[in-house]
Structure 1
Amino acid sequence: MNKLNFKSLLLANAVLLASGFAVQAHAEDETQLIKQGEYLSRLGDCMACHSVAGKPDYAGGLAIESNLGTIFSTNITPDKQHGIGNYTEQQFSDAVRKGILPDGSRLYPAMPYPDYARISDADMHALYVYFMKGVKPGAEQPPETKLSFPFSQRWGMRFWNWAFTSDKPFQPIDGASEEVNRGAYIVEGLGHCGSCHTPRGFGMNEKALDSRDDQFLAGGSLNNWDVPSLRGLPRWSEQEIVDYLQTGRNDKAAVGGEMKSVIEHSSSHMTDADLKAIAAYLKFIGGNPPLQAYNVQAQQATEARLTTAKNLTEGERLYLDNCGACHFVTGKGAAGIFPELDQATLVNAKDPTGLIHTILVGAQQPSTEKAPSKLAMPGFGNRLSDDEVAKLATFVRQGWSNKAPAVSKEQVAEVRKSFEH
């Protein structure tokens, strides 16, 4: 072999070797992007809305009840016929950030694109790679959303978007720590916490999209359940916020309602660092005083009446017969197991729907990695009449330090009717 041929062979081998390294590096980069995108999809809680039990993940079909009617989530698997397999990255970004589909039609803001607008370009790229290459295609056609006129006219969302959304990227909070700003990025963007915890305006829009407005995270209403304010969470420590988001329970409360799905599919999968960042951010923004002053005398008076068990009202008797074994005469429950009733947000909510619903049908905490046990509260709807539930709920709302309005049997009947039909 002459020198020229030998050098050519060496050069060819070097090129092949370099190409091999490049292919391997590309594959490693893609694997990392898929892993990152999967985690970001958990931050965005995409699984909860776009998945239905018994169907492929992300194949859509979840019925989302709204004031406009029932909206069905779409198939966001890479299936080319029923999903998003033909989307370019720009089209994917426009759908997620702007609510605009490739054909120009508009999504309803049940898809929280007003919040997702803050997702960074890098995170959007990782999400696109994950959904295109890390999710299995699902050949499922979800039911079509059919709202009544005029809400059926999706073109009108163009004007809604103009009035109520913003295309500004995430803006870090001046003077805040890196941890607080990480929490802000999650809560204001992918976490879309404001879509439930911020009050809605006349156009059913979030009244604020970030913490620069005091209305942001100041509480709202979802399907007649009062949604609590998250500003400062004065009764909870940062660690209690982390515990709640990670396990669905802490020393004061246990998850209920729509938040159960959020913890099950999203926050329980977050890293400790991100959960601590969220807690730090919620404490940083502050803004709300405690629910009410803790009244030692009132608490002790209720505890004494329940302990002596003499001359009880019907509400007090119903409490001892049905609730006392877990929540005790103190109303304090058991830390990390049974939630407190004294000063609880659900108990003191202006609208008692959430409490009534919980008494009637019960509740179950989700199973998470750090709290796998599924602790459950039974429902009492089959053994208690509407009048009995009303008296029980009224006692709970007015016992110990609680000072919420009474509940009527008509309110109970309305809640019972809502899930029996």
Structure 2
Amino acid sequence: MKRFFLVIFLIVIIVAGGVIWFVNHTPSSPFDGNSASVVSSPDLLARGEMVARQADCVACHSLPDGKPFAGGLEMGTPLGSIFATNISPDKEHGIGNYSLADFDRAVRHGVTPDGHRLYPAMPYPSYVKMSDDDIAALYAFFMHDVQPVAEANKPSGIEWPLNMRWPLAFWNAVFVPSGTYQQKPDQDEQWNRGAYLVQAAGHCGACHTPRSLTMNEKGLDESSTAFLSGALLDGWYAPSLRQDHNTGLGRWSEDDIFAFLKNGRNHHAVVFGSMTEAYNNSLQFMSDEDLRAIGHYLKSLPGDPSRDGKPWAYVEASAAPGTPAARSVPGAQTYAARCGFCHGPDGRGQNEWISPLAGAASSLIEHTDSQINVVLNGSGRVVTAGVPDAYRMPPFRQQLSDKEVADVLTHVRSSWGNHGGPVKPEDVKALRDHTDPASSNPIVLQMR
């Protein structure tokens, strides 16, 4: 019997030792042993700045009224709030003491030099696919072309024991892929470039791919039908980027996608919500070749008719706006008074300047968050080449009650062939309480 308990004790010790070793194990880096600093050059710094744009580092690691890369942005999670960290080259509060290998481990593996695990709000499950050359260029940019900011990091709002990070080692082992992006030999060069940008630095799946109960993305590349199929994220719904006719890009051509990424608008839609920041700080700075490669790749992702339903087709309103029949429809009067001048009495919008509501993905999905959010809080200005546009969705949270918002959105979601379903006043109230008014100032952050 004593021998039995001794064996059990030894097994427990071995397992415990293995667990301790595993959670404290530092991932290897191809830059290990490279103690020399990266030699900067104009070309390398320019490439690093472009990678930073592709990864949209500035949007998460800066505040609109703060200095670039000083951190502080609050991010809501199911466990509580976390705050983006200072990634300027400040030696006390930032990453100024990071070696290239340290930087690589933080970006591609979510592990800091002291073994601290980063929450996957830092999209290292995507960044792990970035190439060694892009990582080296990004490191050179941060170390030699970004100004250090002596701004202390904010502690997370996640309470103990949920704030323990060592379990992330096991989460990473299960859900984070290994290795950089590998070219698909059966696809052309443009497709592979688009796939790399979408899956790696662009981390599009972090917002546009649904997550499981364990908070991992349900798909990380085109091999999964869940990849980029749309997801709800902190008060916004990021729509499908697949060829779904109703809820995705099925009605968009490659030229339409390019125009949207390049200009922040096309005749189908205008960027709003979180996508405004992605456009203002990232997409518009990318090369035409890269933006077209992204469009080429996205057009290759098939939709799911069983999920998407019967293709949308425009249906004329049964009653003309302003008529007694229309006035009897809840929300119709509010639409005519508040929305119709810009979006049109027919819901078709104003070409690429003001988006249509008829056939919009947000009017065809079951999730109502994006439409409620933008009606309550408006949308930030689209800023192209430093010039804010003249048109923006204003906030109506002070002018409309929860019931009025619910009625007008129910009207929109059931008109012109839309079939998104009704909006409930209690859903409006919940999002009103959860969100703050959108800033009236354009969010465009300089990276230097």
Same fold (TM over 0.5): yes
The alignment status of 1:144 with 2:155, answered yes or no, reads: yes
Instruction: Indicate the SS of the match to 1:301.
Output: coil
> Contact conserved, 2:86 with 2:95, CA < 8 A, in 1?
yes
Distance 2:141 2:188 in 1: 30
Which of these residues, 365, 370, 373, is aligned with residue 389 of structure 2?
373
Give yes or no for the alignment of 1:351 onto 2:367: yes
Aligned partner of 1:230 in structure 2 is 241
1:287 shift after superposition: 2.8
| CA-CA distance at 1:285 after TM superposition | 2.0
Q: CA deviation at 1:139?
A: 0.9
Indicate the residue corresponding to 1:176 in structure 2.
187
The alignment partner of 1:285 has SS state of coil
- The 8 Å contact of residues 317 and 346 in structure 2, kept in 1 or not, is answered as no
Q: Output the CA distance in 2 between the equivalents of 1:390 and 1:341.
A: 15
Sequence identity (%): 41
Give the counterpart of 1:99 among 110, 120, 131: 110
User: What pairs up with 1:182-221 in 2 under 5 angstroms?
Assistant: 182-221=193-232
Counterpart in the other structure of 1:333: 349
For residue 126 of structure 1, report the CA deviation from its aligned partner.
0.6
- TM-score normalised by the chain length of structure 2: 0.83
Compared with structure 1, are the counterparts of its residues 371 and 310 closer, same or farther at alpha carbon in structure 2 (3 Å cutoff)? farther
Give the counterpart letter for 1:35 in structure 2.
A
Structure 1 residue 143: deviation in Å? 1.0
2:175 aligned with 1:160: no
The corresponding residue for 1:294 is: 312
> Could you list the per-position Cα deviations for residues 297-329 of structure 1 after superposition, in whole angstroms to 9, with x for gaps in the alignment?
xx2134x52264645223111111111111112
CA displacement at 1:376 relative to structure 2: 1.2
CA contact (8 A) 2:40 2:144 kept: no
Could you tell me which of 95, 106, 109 is aligned with 1:84?
95
Partner residue of 1:305 out of 291, 302, 320: 320
Give the equivalent residue in structure 1 for 2:23: none
Task: Confirm whether residue 264 of structure 1 aligns to residue 280 of structure 2.
Answer: yes
Shift of 1:247: 2.2
Q: Aligned with 2:81: secondary structure?
A: strand
Distance 1:28 1:191, change over 3 A: same
Aligned to 2:355, the other structure's residue is in SS state coil
State the match for 1:315 in structure 2: 331
Structure 1 residues 125-176: Cα deviation after superposition (integer angstroms, max 9, x where no partner): 1111111111111111121224123321111111111111111220223321
Conservation of the 8 A alpha-carbon contact between 1:367 and 1:374: no
- Aligned-residue offset at 1:379: 2.0
Structure holding more helix per residue = 1
Q: Does the CA-based 8 Å contact 2:40-2:140 persist in structure 1?
A: no
Q: Secondary structure at the match of 1:221?
A: strand
Which is further off, 405-414 or 391-400?
405-414
Contact 1:77 1:85 in 2 (8 A): yes
Match status 1:110 vs 2:128: no
> How does the TM-score come out when normalised to structure 1?
0.89
> Which amino acid letter does the alignment assign opposite residue 350 of structure 2?
A
- 1: distance between equivalents of 2:90 and 2:107? 17
Quote the RMSD (CA, aligned, Å): 2.1
Instruction: Give the deviation of 1:388 after TM superposition.
Output: 1.5
CA contact (8 A) 1:247 1:370 kept: no
Do structure 1's residue 387 and structure 2's residue 403 form an aligned pair? Answer: yes
Query: May I ask how many residue pairs the two structures share in their alignment?
Result: 393
Q: Secondary structure at the match of 1:399?
A: coil
Task: State the Cα deviation string for residues 91-116 of structure 1 (Å, max 9, x = none).
Answer: 10000000010011100000000100
What residue number does 1:130 align with?
141
Partner secondary structure for residue 41 of structure 2: helix
Question: Residues 207-249 of structure 1: CA distance to partner in whole angstroms, max 9, x if unpaired?
Answer: 1111121111111110143221111311111111112122221
Taking the aligned partners of 1:181 and 1:89, their CA distance within structure 2 comes to 27
For residues 216 and 396 of structure 1, what CA distance do their matches in structure 2 show? Answer: 29
Shift of residue 66, structure 1, vs aligned partner? 1.4
* 3-state secondary structure, aligned to 1:314: coil
Larger gyration radius, structure 1 or structure 2: 1
What are the ranges of 5 or more consecutive residues in structure 2 without an aligned counterpart? 1-37, 244-248, 438-448
**Native 8 Å contact 1:246 1:368 kept in 2:** no
1:250 and 2:276 aligned: no
Cα deviation digits, residues 311-367 of structure 1 (max 9, x gap): 522311111111111111211001111101011112222121211122222223321
Secondary structure in 2 matching 1:284? coil
8 Å CA contact 1:245, 1:268 repeated in 2: yes
Structure 1 alignment gaps of length 5 or more: 1-26
**Residue 274 of structure 1: aligned partner:** 290
User: Contact between 2:363 and 2:419, CA under 8 Å: does it hold in 1?
Assistant: no
Deviation (angstroms), 1:374:
4.3
User: Whole-Å Cα distance in 1 between the matches of residues 52 and 294 of structure 2?
Assistant: 17
CA contact (8 A) 2:322 2:336 kept: no
